[in-house]
Amino acid sequence: MDFARPIQALIPGAQGRILAVLTETSAELNLRTLARLSGVSLAQASRVMPGLVDLGVVTRREVPPSALFRLVPDHVAARPLLELARARTTVLEELGRRAATLEPQPVTVVVYGSLARGDGRPGSDIDVLVVRPDGVADDAHWHEQLEGWRRRAVELSGNPVELLVVDGAAAARHLRSRRPLWAAIRREGIVVHGASLTDLAGRRSA
């Protein structure tokens, strides 16, 4: 999935760019502003907008000497567009929900890297830190659970999913270190399940 530009990925060209802008605001925009925000020419915007208005997915209100356009959120075609626009948030929420079904549950699941930053593109890895619960053996059962979760994450997003799996003591130690990878996790990581990074870093080995 192209998480940076989800609508444009499925609706290429000027129409996709314009629709992406319209999903991001409830305000009315004139044609010149739409073209500027979408990165398309005024001529391209002029060709696209009448078709969207004819479909009813966009309203046009005359405010001489220009016209104002707005997405109709309740339109049957607008609803999936709005869902698509929040694809990154949906994936993060679903990853957390599915992590909660693991048995035993991880102490923490953290998404970092391009998905966390919001610039994930098609083929970008989804990087995930999984902290194994104390007392849970690093055995076949645990790996089978995680592999099932990873496969479902791939199906959900269409992107490769890379897991970094450590126990609680190791995670706390690494988070207190200055290693570049762990500094990036502290800086950009999004906890989708379990303890916060601050709580995790504060853990001490028994």
Length of the chain in residues, anyone? 206
Q: Which residue in this structure is represented by tokens 């950009």?
A: 188
Give the tokens for residue 71.
């997405």
**What's the sign of the alpha-carbon dihedral 97, 163, 143, 106?**
negative
Query: Is 50 exceeded by the pLDDT of residue 186?
Result: yes
List pLDDT tens digits, range 135-144: 777 778 888 9
Give the tokens for residue 180.
């570049």
List pLDDT tens digits, range 12-57: 999 999 999 999 999 999 999 999 999 999 999 999 999 999 999 9
Distance CA 104, CA 133 (A): 7
Q: What is the pTM of this model?
A: 0.86
Q: Which CATH number fits domain 86-201: 3.40.50.970, 3.40.718.10, 3.30.460.10, 3.30.70.890?
A: 3.30.460.10
Distance CA 6, CA 85 (A): 6
Query: Is 50 exceeded by the pLDDT of residue 206?
Result: no
Cβ(73)–Cβ(173) below 8 Å: no
Within the chain, all domains assigned CATH 1.10.10.10 are found at 6-83
List pLDDT tens digits, range 95-118: 999 999 998 899 999 999 999 999
Q: Which CATH number fits domain 6-83: 1.10.1740.10, 3.90.230.10, 3.40.640.10, 1.10.10.10?
A: 1.10.10.10
List pLDDT tens digits, range 32-43: 999 999 999 999
The mean pLDDT of 143-148, rounded to a whole number, is 91
- Residues 173-186: b if buried by 16+ CB within 10 A, e if exposed: bbbeeeeeebeebb
